[in-house]
């Protein structure tokens, strides 16, 4: 009669408040066991619950309670046993979980590491304490670790968090995703990392209907990085004419913001098929040119007239023109240039 093999004794590592890592030695070849069952019970509620069943020789025991004494029992099946049938032999070990304060300390540490862009510390914390760190932990402003990294961090930290399981679809209280936050700060590197990981977030809209593209064009300023970010979003299929809650598209937002007016960004949008409002209507009371003029974007106004053939003589229902809107807002130079364009268009129209 063959003597049944002695079961290995489980060892516990990385014991924390709510998880513990269990493993047991198994021969790399010719193992006498085909499957293992790991069960757990505590002294307060002595009822065995299955923590793991399978062929692996290690597992993470989850859903534990802090500062609690547990008993772990390992059983195994040998070749020929039917599914659900286990050997009579069992090996038990005891362990005690830690208090919850460790989780709090680790959370504070990784929030600080992400905040100061310490990739080495982030990597060490995730490598050693991934089970104790909630990747969806939020700071006092309601931002997750990934959101913080996307705004002011590096792609290295963003990729570490994404690989560890951080959600690219988590939102702030106002509905902004990590990608929208990256675009708000024109962080091209982190936006690139996010889209490489999950391109489906490219049109994620917040509670006001604003998409990453809208935030990018509004904050692009005159920088090349802003142009490159808009190029990136469009290359991933960003919807160029999607409207926010106030019916503004990305081009509308570019014209309307006081720090916008980037002609290179406008050219990218128009090339991608962006709608130019040439004539005011009930839906759009002002033309694209009028909005740009009212906000003092001289170069953009010139491009709209000379390059994209927006008529500077168009009037609103109440008689307003691009020139008058610029003048009333104090943009005298814009008004002067538009007046010159009005004369040119009128002359060309009268020319034989």
Ordered by start, the domain boundaries in the chain are 11-98, 137-350
Please indicate whether the domains covering 11-98 and 137-350 agree at the CATH topology level: no
Best CATH choice for the domain 11-98 from the list 2.60.40.10, 2.40.30.10, 3.30.70.1380, 3.40.50.620: 2.60.40.10
Q: Please state the pTM of the whole predicted model.
A: 0.74
Q: What is the C-alpha separation between 283 and 130, in angstroms, rounded?
A: 52
Element (H, E) at 40: strand 35-42
318-351 pLDDT, tens digit per residue, is: 999 999 999 999 999 999 999 999 999 988 765 4
Identify the pLDDT of residue 329: 96
The pLDDT tens digits for 175-187 are: 999 999 999 999 9
Structure-block tokens of residue 346: 């009128």
For residues 111-125, give the mean pLDDT.
95
CB-based contacts of 319: which residues, under 8 Å, 6+ apart?
none
Q: Would the CA dihedral through 342, 344, 345, 351 be positive or negative?
A: positive
Q: What is the separation of C-alpha 103 from the centre of its chain, rounded to a whole number of angstroms?
A: 24
The pLDDT tens digits for 15-56 are 888 888 999 999 888 889 999 999 999 977 778 999 999 999
CATH node for 137-350: 1.25.40.20
């Amino acid at each position: 009669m063959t003597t049944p093999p002695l079961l290995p004794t489980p060892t516990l590592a990385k014991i924390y408040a709510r998880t513990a890592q269990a493993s047991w030695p198994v021969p790399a070849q010719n193992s006498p066991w085909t499957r293992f069952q790991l069960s757990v019970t505590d002294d307060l509620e002595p009822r065995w619950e299955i923590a793991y069943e399978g062929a692996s020789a290690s597992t993470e025991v989850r859903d534990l309670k802090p500062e609690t004494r547990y008993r772990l029992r390992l059983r195994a099946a040998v070749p020929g046993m039917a599914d659900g049938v286990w050997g009579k032999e069992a090996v038990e070990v005891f362990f005690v979980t830690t208090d919850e304060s460790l989780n709090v300390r680790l959370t504070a540490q990784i929030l600080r590491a992400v905040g100061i862009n310490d990739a080495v510390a982030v990597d060490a914390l995730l490598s050693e304490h991934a089970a104790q760190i909630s990747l969806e932990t939020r700071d006092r402003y309601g931002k997750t670790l990934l959101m913080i990294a996307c705004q002011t961090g590096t792609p290295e930290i963003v990729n570490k968090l994404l690989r560890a399981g951080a959600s690219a679809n988590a939102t702030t209280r106002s509905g902004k995703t990590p990608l929208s936050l990256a675009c708000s700060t024109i962080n091209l590197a982190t936006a690139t990392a996010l889209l490489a990981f999950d391109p489906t977030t490219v049109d994620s809209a917040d509670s006001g209907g604003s998409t990453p593209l809208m935030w990018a064009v509004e904050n692009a300023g005159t920088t090349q990085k802003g142009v490159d970010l808009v190029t990136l979003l469009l290359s991933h299929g960003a919807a160029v004419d999607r409207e926010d809650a106030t019916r503004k598209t990305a081009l509308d937002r570019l014209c309307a913001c006081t720090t916008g007016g980037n002609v290179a960004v406008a050219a990218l949008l128009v090339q991608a098929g962006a709608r130019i409002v040439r004539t005011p209507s009930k839906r759009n009371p002002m033309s694209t040119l009028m909005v740009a003029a009212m906000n003092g974007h001289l170069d953009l106004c010139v491009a709209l007239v000379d390059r994209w053939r927006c008529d500077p003589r168009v009037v609103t229902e109440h008689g307003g023109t691009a020139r008058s809107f610029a003048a009333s807002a104090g943009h005298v130079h814009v008004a002067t240039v538009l007046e010159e364009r009005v004369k040119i268009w009128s002359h060309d129209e009268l020319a034989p």
